[in-house]
Chains A and B, each alone.
Chain A
Amino acid sequence: MGPGRDKIKQGVNIMKNKLPLNKSILLSAFVMLFFTVLFFFTEKRGLEYTVAKTVYAIFLSITAFLIFYKGEISRYRSIFFITSAISFIIVFKFRLWGATNNIFIAKQPNMPEVPFCHIAMASNLFVTLGDQIKSVFFYGWDKWGFYTLGVLYVFSTLGIGQGFCSWACFYGGIDEAMSKIFNKQAVKLNFFPKRLRDFPLGLWIFFMLASIMLFEPVFCTWACPLKLTTAFLNKGDIGIYKMQIIIFCFIGIVFLAVLPLILKKRTFCSFICPFGAFISVAGQANPYRVRINDTMCNKCGICAINCPMFAITEDYKITSYCVKCGACIDKCPKKAISMQMAGFGIKKQEINKPYNENVHVLFVVSALILGGAISSFFVPDAMIVILKLAGIMH
């Protein structure tokens, strides 16, 4: 199991991947410039919205600066990531409240649904795949509707791979926030048997098969705890409705609240999320890999303690469930873990490569840009909602 979390705090000399001040400023200025240009060309909704977007661009730029200058990916990524998830909930709830006067499950017809998200896309893959291909060929890009999201997810898979789950997923931040509440693991469980760790893949296959059979997104109608926040597809049988509520509550309480609190891990993302399972396979097409240099590794176990995804095996190998959050890279006392890039001389026999600053920078900037671009659809809105609720803005 390795040593406990206390050892991390007992002055283990953690060398960090810090960048010099001038490089850090330059990179954060690039991030600022990117988002300024992006926001300038996107929809304009008045001064208040422009100010909110500018504030968000500054926030992203500061995040980039801190990641590079302080040499800690995970801490500052986490702040950005949790902000994104909380903003999504605020905006969605606010719209739901405006439409139905209810922030929990509403029974009114024609109420706003949670968007057809990447999780639904993965679990319903076989059913929607044909429609997505058709939409790409036969319609204008702005008329694809939710299929456009499918293309975006494929694009992000190629761009940052499994990094989507820790940089761009607007649900993952809920799990991450819960896992950060306590400082200590109440239950020390850091390694998982390989056979059981593959459970989400089996679950994903099951959801895809059941979705084909019933021709409906079975994960959304039966297992997504986020559906507790809105209406869902079943409008008929009351017995089934009650059963669905029980399952939503069970998964929500156990995997989004209790287990993240006691294990300090993202248990919903690790064991339930179909998109997490999908991207652990599809993300292999992506060139970024987090590797442990086994000549430098002293097998202290600190990486496994800090990994939120049970992605490190007992023989200290990083599996495809790694979401590239940077926690192990930051905490490794021997600096034995680093981001590598396939196609740049990384072969199976060449995994013991040293830290590469260019790969590190390229990944962080790409991930922050993708995550920032997706979250810019709701973070500025959330700022305005908060100001309105606080009575500062009307």
Chain B
Amino acid sequence: MLHNIANALMLGFSSGGSCLGACTPFLLPFLIAKHRDLKGNLYIVLEYLSGRLIAYITAGLFAGIAGVLIGNMKISGKIYGGLTALAGILMLLYSIGIMFEAIEKLNSYMKFFKAAARVPFAAGLINGLNFCPPFMAAFSYTISLKSIAGSLLYFIVFFAATSIYVLPFVFTGLVTKFEKVKNAGRIAGILVSIWFLAYGVYLFLK
């Protein structure tokens, strides 16, 4: 057990930089598009991380069950493509919502876009299922454990170790008092979401 926890910690700490690369494009536009204090930003980061935690628990559970029942399995790249496209759509809704809020027009449509305000949680959930090499390594390893509890614990520890890299994002709020940064964040949010959508569709069709 201790060996598995140490393994998950090592994998999480060593691949945290890579996780940062995957999380930054999702998280940064959310944080700089609107001015919030540290508490507000912490709330967004925690919301994102809670989505990610649920994704990791799901992955751990899935890997555990797969290990017990099947013994081995492969994940199609189409799933990742589909999830990336979905994340792109959610982000686009959120960014448009923020943009409308900033322009203070089209109030009648705001209700629809306000529904997208829970996007950081959804983005965390989808981004948590990012099949990057460290995630795949964790997934393969936990299948080989052939234990649902062991697999769950492994993914929770892996999540904790990688999340440390995400926490400094809370401080991005310090730059959002500048109007220019907020404008840039809104524009970047829309561009990033279009890019994710296109990239996801490309991966799905490939």
Contacts and interface: CB of A to CB of B under 8 A. Distances in A.
Given A194-B179, A195-B183, A210-B195, A202 B188 contact: yes
Interface string A202-230: 11111001101101000000000000000
Q: Is the contact region of chain B dominated by helix, strand, or loop, or is it mixed?
A: helix
Contacts, number: 60
Q: Is the contact region of chain A dominated by helix, strand, or loop, or is it mixed?
A: helix
A210 B25 contact: yes
A206 B21 contact: no
Given A212-B25, A213-B22, A206 B191 contact: yes
A202 B195 CA distance: 13
A48 interface: no
Given A203-B191, A206-B191, A210-B192, A198 B184 contact: yes
Contacts of B22: 213
A202 B28 contact: no
B34 to A, nearest CB: 14
B79 to A, nearest CB: 18
A209 B188 contact: yes
A201 interface: yes
Interface string B5-23: 0000000000000001110
B105 interface: no
B24 A212 contact: yes
Given A194-B179, A210-B25, A213-B22, A201 B195 contact: no
B183 A206 contact: no
Interface residues of A, number: 17
B25 A198 contact: no
Given A213-B21, A213-B22, A206 B180 contact: no
A202 B184 contact: yes
B179 A206 contact: no
Given A202-B191, A206-B191, A212 B183 contact: no
Interface in B83-106: 102-103
Nearest to B184: A201
Contacts of B179: 194
A204 B179 CA distance: 16
A212 B21 contact: yes
Given A199-B187, A201-B181, A206-B187, 9 more contacts: A126-B24, A195-B102, A195-B103, A202-B190, A203-B191, A205-B188, A212-B20, A213-B21, A213-B25
Interface of A: 126, 194-195, 198-199, 201-206, 209-210, 212-213, 215, 320
23 contacts: A126-B24, A194-B179, A195-B103, A198-B183, A198-B184, A198-B187, A201-B181, A202-B183, A202-B185, A202-B186, A202-B190, A202-B191, A203-B188, A205-B29, A205-B32, A205-B184, A205-B187, A209-B29, A209-B188, A209-B192, A212-B25, A213-B25, A320-B180
Interface of B: 20-22, 24-25, 28-29, 32, 102-103, 179-181, 183-188, 190-192, 195
